[in-house]
């Protein structure tokens, strides 16, 4: 009887220790996620996601804020879910996304994590292995002093309607031009420091002497 009681107690403890915090697995787009404490916690990529070199993390899933990585069970660092990928090179993180310790450190070919916002993005501990974390120039000193790590200030920030649209990060010699934006009733002409058509930025010009600039779209009515 005592042995039976001990086995039952052991079974309950094992279920508690290894089952605590586990939630039903769900898929959104290319992400596996679980609901935890009011957050949608992304912890893995689907087979389709595993083939991508560039991803942009969603800021919410069905109305719930997003965390990348997950803590569950006992031993936080040991059990933190890590996104694994051998092909992923660039990850875009926007305002409203929280990143947990070790979340991306098993992405073996990761080159850049781009923080595409001009407000501080929440992160816990070191979440990236190799690669650089790209931030807007005005926040570079804060990130470097408060977070430490391999941060780099982008050479150019592209704004549309007061929202950060793109950071140039992938070439030290030339500023990379982002995907062409669109606006109903207007034709996109180019990018400019003054938003005027007579002062378009020349992307073929060397950026070796450019530290950090802000560029705006130039529109022409159709």
pLDDT of residue 1: 53
Query: Per the domain annotation, does 20 fall within a domain?
Result: no
Cα four-point dihedral sign 150, 151, 156, 159: positive
Q: Are 136 and 118 in contact (CB under 8 A)?
A: yes
Query: Per the domain annotation, does 1 fall within a domain?
Result: no
Q: Which residues have C-beta within 8 Å of that of residue 161, sequence separation ≥ 6? A: none
Which pLDDT tens digit goes with each residue over 64-112?
999 997 655 444 444 557 788 999 999 999 988 998 877 888 898 999 9
pLDDT of residue 24: 60
Nearest-angstrom CA–CA distance, 103 and 121: 15
147, 163: one domain: no
191, 137: one domain: no
162, 149: one domain: no
DSSP class of 199: G
131, 76: one domain: yes
> Which residues in the chain come in under a pLDDT of 50?
2-23, 73-78
119, 162: one domain: no
Domain range holding 203? 156-222
Structural domain total, the chain:
2
Q: What is the dihedral of CA 78, 85, 66, 68, to 10 degrees?
A: 30
Nearest-angstrom CA–CA distance, 6 and 168: 62
Q: What is the pTM of this model?
A: 0.78
């Amino acid at each position: 009887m005592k042995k039976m009681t001990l086995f039952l107690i052991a079974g309950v403890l094992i279920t508690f220790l290894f089952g605590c915090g586990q939630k039903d697995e769900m898929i959104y787009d290319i992400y596996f996620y679980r609901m935890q404490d009011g957050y949608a916690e992304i912890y893995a990529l689907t087979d389709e996601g595993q083939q991508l070199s560039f991803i942009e993390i969603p800021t919410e899933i069905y109305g719930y804020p997003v965390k990348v990585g997950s803590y569950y069970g006992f031993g936080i660092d040991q059990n933190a879910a890590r996104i694994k990928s051998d092909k992923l090179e660039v990850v875009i993180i926007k305002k409203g996304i929280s990143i947990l310790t070790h979340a991306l450190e098993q992405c073996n070919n990761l080159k850049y994590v781009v923080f595409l916002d001009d407000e501080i993005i929440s992160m816990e501990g070191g979440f990236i292995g190799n690669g650089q974390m790209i931030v807007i120039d005005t926040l570079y000193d804060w990130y470097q002093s408060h977070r430490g790590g391999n941060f780099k200030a982008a050479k150019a920030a592209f704004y549309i309607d007061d929202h950060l649209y793109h950071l140039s990060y992938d070439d030290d010699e030339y500023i990379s031009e982002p995907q062409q934006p669109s606006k109903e009733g207007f034709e996109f002409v180019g990018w400019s420091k003054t938003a005027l058509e007579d002062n378009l930025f020349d992307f073929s010009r060397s950026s070796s002497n450019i530290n950090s600039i802000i560029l705006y779209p130039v529109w022409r009515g159709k």
